[in-house]
Chain A
Amino acid sequence: MTEKRVAIIGGGVAGMQMAIHLKERGANPVIIEREPTLGGKVAGWYVLFPTFTPAEQVVAPLKQRIAELGIEVMLDTTVTAIAPTCVTLQHGQLLRCDAVALCSGSTLFDARIKEEYGYGIYDNVYTSADLEQMMREGEVRMANGERPERIAILHCVGSRDEKVCQRHCSKVCCVTGVKQAIELKRMMPQAEVFNFYMDIRMFGPGYEEMYREAQVAHNVHFVRGRISEASPLSEGRLQIKAEDTLTGRPLRMSVDMLVLLIGMRGNDDNLPLATSAGITLAENGFFHPRNHFLDNVESERKGIFMAGTCSSPKSIGETLCEATTAAERIINYLNRSNKA
């Protein structure tokens, strides 16, 4: 089966992990990445839950292995249509292949859509991704350069929200919120951090323990209630309102900084890609596997596979795991088609 070509759409951690496995098993993967660099969303993160491992320690080894194995990578390249044996690139260029893998990830929710929080309007309203960026640069500061003394972190922005057509849970934001609260307290022990949540979903290994650590060791306040709006105060501070549902009373406070834990949504081009491939999308706009159990990395169409957050919000660990599984399935598929 040498030189069987697999087109991998997306060069984030899913695409890279899959390419490495395919190459090691004798196939010839090609990664098609729309951005100018490999690494996807993870490359923009600072440290990863639950171990506070620098994101770089995940991305760099994958990139290095890609280079060592001489895997072909096409950067700045957009895919406009897919079929099991052919991928259409921008400008109509065709790329022949023997199988296709969707590793195209997801899109971070645009926080401006939740207008009541004033992202992009008020200073000092940030997204979780902005905060990661600030932490990568080594400092968390307000727009005026001062250290924030009181920070609110709001869960479920663009998740579990009919109003913005995102009914699903984005799964990893809760633990990200807990992780970021701990990081903020480590950087600024005097700062007060309040997490506003609807439910806390600590689904993974060590996550619940981290939640407890945030509460007990770092005195992070968790208020069960969703912030209803943010309004400006003087000097860039913000007033937020919520219900403290566990006491049944409205709650109001001023904060120096509001962090919005933005969710994952299906990419805008999922629909045209799915249509071109003759497969359907899940109701929430993500791709969906043929079934959720025995064929959970395969699409409805033979020869088109998927891994990572293109099919639902996932942690990095789960994504890497799925990419490995999908590579294995692709090898089996290529072997079978070889015999036939």
Chain B
Amino acid sequence: MKRSNWEEYQKSIADDKYYYARSCIRQNFFPGSEKAFLDIMQRDLGKEVFDDPLHTSCTGIGYHSDIVPLETIMTVVARQFALMNEAGYENFISSCITSFGIYTELLSTWEEFPETEERTRENLYKATGREFVKPKNLAHTSDIMFHHRHAIAERMTRPLINVNTGEPLRVVEHIGCHYAKIFPKKGIGGSEFPYVLAGMIEAWGGEVVDYPERRHCCGFGFRNYLVQANRGYSVANSQKKLESMAPYKPDFIVCNCPGCAMFLDKWQYTVAEMEGITYGRGGRGIPVLTYEEMAGLVLGYDPWKLGMQMHQVDVEPLLDKMGVEYDPSAKYLGPNGKYIGKPEPAIVNHRSQRNLYSIKL
């Protein structure tokens, strides 16, 4: 695909000295990813990233679920900015796409409606006695990883190449909706042909696979999956994407949004259990990675240190293709060597009889 138009959508990304805002849910579902980001930036690349224990959830999930009012989330966001100022930083980076969307949207709201910013300043001062300066630079952490992709490539020990065939790995990238669908100019490559993950894949030796439902939402929604009865609609969206990508035989999916990575992974389990269908090679599911995990593997990190044992779809077939050495017996041992428990066998990780991988294009 001639994706050259991504160059028209550039945004300024700070080079160093970041204030890091974590995601609420990633530490549960992909617990090693944020740690990997910090390690890669600080240890491998020598960048300064401040991981502030004082900051809170941006309350985005509550906001999108009609629980947290707009005034409240504005004040929470203002407090994060105040904490950044107090720590002596100007570049705010967020690990979560929902948060990134919220920060972008609120900065824009304050720009368009200055009275809302004034009210937020009053609310923050009344509640906490704090004042704030808006960040000089706002970026998602995948933007930061993209920004440093060539530096990572220089330190790469395991490119995205199938060691058995020597061919590039076929990678499907999925971008969180709130990364660029709200403000296309705030995303690298815009909303139609985002390049933030594709750029990493290409820089690290893989091949980006385009497929018809690439732009479709993973189905995360907020109200949609929070209510159990609505989940059939959420899972149907992931299923639509998986059906569409299966014929292109991707080796793995990479996401930049906490919700997408979680749902594209976990809904594969659900679909397999409910309907017996899987979408990847050998009757299995398609492994779903975060971009930090992808970067970590490329840089030679241990997959269990990256938290990849927490995936619903087993990643071992991918690790084997990449030639990653790992200790199978260490998979379910935590960082302190203590057994962390093991999931029940699931259809998604065993040969399913109904596999969409083999269908013709």
Give the B-binding residues of A (Cβ under 8 A): 112, 115-116, 118, 120-122, 229, 231-234, 239
Contact = CB atoms under 8 A, between A and B. Distances in A.
A84 B1 CA distance: 51
B346 to A, nearest CB: 31
Given A112-B5, A115-B192, A229-B192, 11 more contacts: A115-B5, A115-B193, A116-B192, A121-B3, A121-B5, A121-B193, A229-B215, A231-B212, A231-B215, A232-B210, A233-B361
Given A116-B192, A231-B212, A121 B1 contact: yes
Interface string B174-211: 00000000000000001111000000000000000011
Nearest to B2: A121
Looking at chain B, what size class is its interface with the partner chain? 10 to 19
B171 to A, nearest CB: 16
A146 to B, nearest CB: 16
Contacts of B191: 115
B285 to A, nearest CB: 23
A233 B215 CA distance: 14
Contacts of A239: 212
30 contacts: A112-B5, A115-B5, A115-B190, A115-B191, A115-B192, A115-B193, A116-B192, A118-B192, A120-B2, A120-B5, A121-B1, A121-B2, A121-B3, A121-B5, A121-B193, A122-B1, A229-B192, A229-B215, A231-B210, A231-B211, A231-B212, A231-B214, A232-B1, A232-B210, A232-B211, A232-B212, A233-B361, A234-B247, A234-B361, A239-B212
B66 interface: no
A142 to B, nearest CB: 16
A130 to B, nearest CB: 16
B213 A231 contact: yes
Contacts of B247: 234
A110 to B, nearest CB: 12
Residue with the highest number of chain A CB atoms closer than 10 Å, among B192, B211, B212, B213: B212
A220 to B, nearest CB: 25
A50 B184 CA distance: 41
Contacts of A121: 1-3, 5, 193
Interface string B109-134: 00000000000000000000000000
A236 to B, nearest CB: 11
Contacts of B214: 231
Contacts of A115: 5, 190-193
Contacts of A231: 210-215
B212 A233 contact: yes
Query: Top 8 A-B pairs ranked by shortest CB distance?
Result: A115-B192, A239-B212, A234-B361, A231-B212, A121-B2, A232-B210, A116-B192, A233-B212
Nearest to B361: A234
Q: Which of A115, A118, A122, A229 has the most CB of B within 10 A?
A: A115
A239 B214 CA distance: 11
A118 B5 CA distance: 10
Interface in B327-348: none
Interface in B229-249: 247
Contacts of A118: 192
B244 to A, nearest CB: 8
A115 B192 CA distance: 6
A56 to B, nearest CB: 34
Nearest to B360: A234
A232 B193 CA distance: 12
Nearest to A231: B212
A40 to B, nearest CB: 29
Nearest to A234: B361
Nearest to B247: A234
A121 B211 CA distance: 14
Contacts of B1: 121-122, 232
Contacts of A232: 1, 210-212
Contacts of A229: 192, 215
A211 B247 CA distance: 39
A112 B7 CA distance: 14
Contacts of A112: 5
Contacts of B5: 112, 115, 120-121
Nearest to B213: A231
A330 to B, nearest CB: 44
Contacts of B193: 115, 121
A162 to B, nearest CB: 15
B7 to A, nearest CB: 13
A123 to B, nearest CB: 9
Nearest to B215: A229
Contacts of A233: 212, 361
B277 to A, nearest CB: 20
Nearest to B192: A115
Nearest to A240: B212
Contacts of A234: 247, 361
A239 B193 CA distance: 16
A232 B3 CA distance: 13
Contacts of A122: 1
Contacts of B215: 229, 231
A232 B212 CA distance: 6
A121 B195 CA distance: 14
A54 B322 CA distance: 60
Nearest to B210: A232
B40 to A, nearest CB: 32
A135 B150 CA distance: 46
A234 B360 CA distance: 10
